[in-house]
Chains A and B, each alone.
Chain A
Amino acid sequence: MPSLVEFLQSIVNGIGLGLIYGLVGIGFCVIYNASGIVNFAQGVFVMLGGMVCQVLLAELGLPIWLAIMVTIPLVALSGMVMEFAIVRPMMHRGATLFAIILATLAAQIMIERITLITFGDRPRTFSEFTSGGPFKIGGVAIGYQLFWILGCGALLVFLLWLFFTRTRVGRALRACSQNSEAAQLLGVPVSQMMLVAFALSAALGAIAGILVTPTQYTAYNVGTPFGVNGFIAAIIGGFGRAGGALAGGLLLGVLQALAIVALGAGFKNVAALSALLVVLLLFPNGLFAGFGSAARSQ
């Protein structure tokens, strides 16, 4: 039977991981809102973020801040390439929804395999941003990296909010999501907005990957769980709502942490996937759909 300390500890861990899921979930929403498609390759950006950053740190010996500064634009670029080389030609040819989803899934596996061949299958990690810790409250240990995750997560959410409400590009993106034809008529370059959406979404994934890697490890195949959990977070939050995705991520992270305590580490993904199915079947508009946001989106 898990003790109270174990229970609290797992909730703390779950919040950290949940915030990461939330960031990935927001990444899903950004692309979905701009284009109406779901990018199944979202998790690969998380993997690339951790991988590229680790390689820059360990093999080129860059300082952490510089490595981060280089990693984020690089991964954002990979997102733009994905949009330009795969999604855009398919949309132009009127490809079906399932075909586009499938193409993004194929892109994910392709990038994973390329990473595997280039960097090998050795799990990699790098040290926490600040050494020392963990911080102890009672018996509950809180690693310093968790503070980084919480701080950066909160900052990012604030910056995103500023971006979407205060900048021209952000507002144009929102216009595309509400009615892309009307936005086009008003002079919004819709196809460029798609590029922006993919870049932004990939950057969010990369930041999530960089933040989370010190607390676990990264390898060529860590993308799928992050992608799937991020998607589940977005679904719980009612697909397309960034705030909902964040809340959904936190909820999912805690749920998973509790599942680990109750069922063992092996079944954490089964628990998350089952949660997805339950939410999809019983609350297709997300758990928070009743709280006024549904009325607004009508």
Chain B
Amino acid sequence: MTSHAITSTEPTSVGWRSALPIAAVAVVAAYGLMSSDYVVTVLGFAFIYAIFCTGLNFFMGYTGQASFGQSAFAAIGGYGSAILCTDYGWEPLLALIATMAISGVVAAVVGYPTLRLRGHYLAMATFALGLIAYEITIEWTSLTQGYMGYAGIPPLGLGGFELATLKQQFIAIVVMALIGVGVASRLRQSRFGRALASIAGSELAARALGVDIARYKLVAFVIAALYASAAGSLFAHFVGFISPEIYGTSMVIQSFAMLYLGGIGTTWGPMLGAVIVSVLPEALRGLKEMQDIAYTAILIFILIFAPRGLAGLTVLFRRARRPALGKA
């Protein structure tokens, strides 16, 4: 099988290179804070998706695998938080962490047999996981209230201190997204991250070098699930209402559009893609019911013409300055 990972050629040092993206995030966040609640909501979704995509990027970008069912873990996070907070009166932050733990365990149990699959078998098996989760959220009405959805989920907070306004929650989400990207970038540059990249390059070669492929794939899958779960929980707290449709197939498609547009396999690409894809439909007002068509059209266009995405453009730039490295 040919390698289908797009391994990025990012330098290993963090340094000043991450200063620019962080400054850009600060500018976007500041713009959000000075604007109406509507803009804050849109940007809040963008950064929640940035967390989701950063996790997905772990499994797809770094490790070169594919999961079409990450929405299942977002559903565990979202519904877990909703149920624990409204029915059992848990602290939102504790519920978020607890559901992340549950998602991690589920990902480990489900991933252990599933990740042995390759290619389209893996794609379909993970797609099935997402669909099973979606069906369960609809059918298990005593737990999830089915199509009705879950309302009245409290906003984020801890120990009596509640982030009452939308803007306070937005700041918390941006900070968490930045922490998420930071953790991902540190892991990427660790021994663990290099092992993942070697799997993406060639499983055979990675195995020859002593990388325990099954274990590393599983860990990457679990990490992706933790991010997805956190994103699902944050969504529930941010909006206060969830229903099965939120964690359906369109979530999968939307996150893929973000990942590929921003640049799969890069550190900041997922967040860049998440912000652009979230803001774009708002810029094209009046396209409400055309939104999914726009997403899919963008996604197909990128997949055909620019599979490395926008962050891939910086790689071109860097390579042009250092021709001595030869063909990469």
Q: Which residues of A contact B (CB under 8 A)?
A: 37-38, 40, 86, 89-90, 93, 95-103, 105-107, 109-110, 113-114, 116-117, 224, 228, 231, 235, 266-267, 269-270, 273-274, 276-277, 280-281, 284
Size bin of chain B's contact surface = 35 or more
Interface SS majority for chain B: helix
Q: Does B106 sit within 8 A of A, measured CB to CB?
A: no
Are A110 and B131 also in contact (CB < 8 A) when A103-B300, A231-B124, A276-B124 are? no
Tell which of B114, B120, B125 has the most Cβ of chain A within 10 Å.
Answer: B120
Across the interface, which residues of A come within 8 angstroms of B98, CB to CB?
none
The answer to whether A277 and B125 touch across the interface, beta carbons within 8 angstroms, is yes
Closest 5 pairs between A and B when the two form their complex, measured CB to CB? A96-B4, A266-B139, A110-B296, A38-B120, A106-B296
Candidate in B121, B124, B292 with the most chain A CB atoms within 10 angstroms:
B124
Q: Whole-angstrom distance from the CB of B308 to the nearest CB of chain A?
A: 11
Cα separation A102 to B139 with both chains bound (whole Å): 27
The verdict on B119 contacting chain A, using a C-beta distance below 8 Å, is yes
Measuring CB to CB, which residues of chain B are less than 8 angstroms from any residue of chain A? 1-2, 4-6, 60, 66, 68, 113-114, 116-117, 119-121, 123-125, 127-129, 131-132, 135-136, 138-139, 249-250, 252-253, 256-257, 260, 289-290, 292-293, 295-297, 299-300, 303-304, 307
Interchain residue pairs with CB less than 8 A apart (13): A40-B123, A97-B2, A97-B120, A98-B66, A102-B256, A109-B253, A113-B289, A224-B131, A228-B127, A270-B139, A276-B128, A277-B113, A280-B125
| B293 contacts across to A, CB distance below 8 A | 110, 113-114, 117
Cα separation A38 to B217 with both chains bound (whole Å): 23
Interface core residue of A37, A103, A231 (most chain B CB under 10 Å): A103
Q: What is the distance, in angstroms, from A91's C-beta to the closest C-beta of chain B?
A: 10
Known: A113-B296, A266-B138. A97 touches B119 (CB 8 A): yes
- Evaluate whether A269 and B289 lie within 8 angstroms (CB atoms) in the complex, with A93-B304, A99-B307, A106-B253 already known: no
Knowing A109-B249, A110-B292, A113-B293 are in contact, say whether A228-B4 is a contact too (CB < 8 A). no
